[in-house]
Every structure is written in C-alpha cells, then in structure tokens.
Amino acid sequence: MANGTVKKLVSDRGFGFITAEDGKDYFFHRDGLDSSIDFDRLVGGEKVAFEIESSPRGPRAVKVQSA
C-alpha cells in the first residue's frame, strides 16, 4: 500500500488527485474509496493510504482509506 495526501477534489464530478510520498500524482474516483471514507467529507491535505491500479488512462488510486 502507498501513502499520500489528498491534493485536489472535484466534488461535483466525484473525483480527485492524491500526491504519493514519492511525489507522483494519482487520480481517484469516489467509487475507489474504502467504505470507511465519505467522499463528501474528504478534504484536501488529508493523509490517505491506497493501492495503485492500472487503467486505460494510466495508473489510478483504488481502495483509498484514511491513513
């Protein structure tokens, strides 16, 4: 599992970006959040843990949970 920080949220579209500890940014969608996280209460700067999955558009964060 990787660790990072929520960088940006696009609330009305249900997605955002996480900056991993290695400096890379990963896209995530609200469907990729663990059930313990409520997308509507997620804020920028929050520490998270996540897995990285390949997608047609590049790597993305899935199974995102609070760190």
Does the pLDDT value for residue 1 go beyond 90? yes
**Domains of the chain and CATH, by start:** 2-66 (2.40.50.140)
At 36 the pLDDT is 86
Task: Say if residues 57 and 17 touch (Cβ distance below 8 Å).
Answer: no
Could you give the 3-state DSSP secondary structure of residue 12? helix
Report the candidate in 12, 9, 8, 20 with the shortest Cα–Cα distance to residue 48.
20
pLDDT tens-place string over residues 9-64: 999 999 999 999 999 999 999 999 999 899 999 999 999 999 999 999 999 999 99
Task: Say if residues 39 and 6 touch (Cβ distance below 8 Å).
Answer: no
Q: How far apart are CA 23 and CA 54, in angstroms?
A: 18
Q: How far apart are CA 38 and CA 13, in angstroms?
A: 15
Q: What is the pTM of this model?
A: 0.91
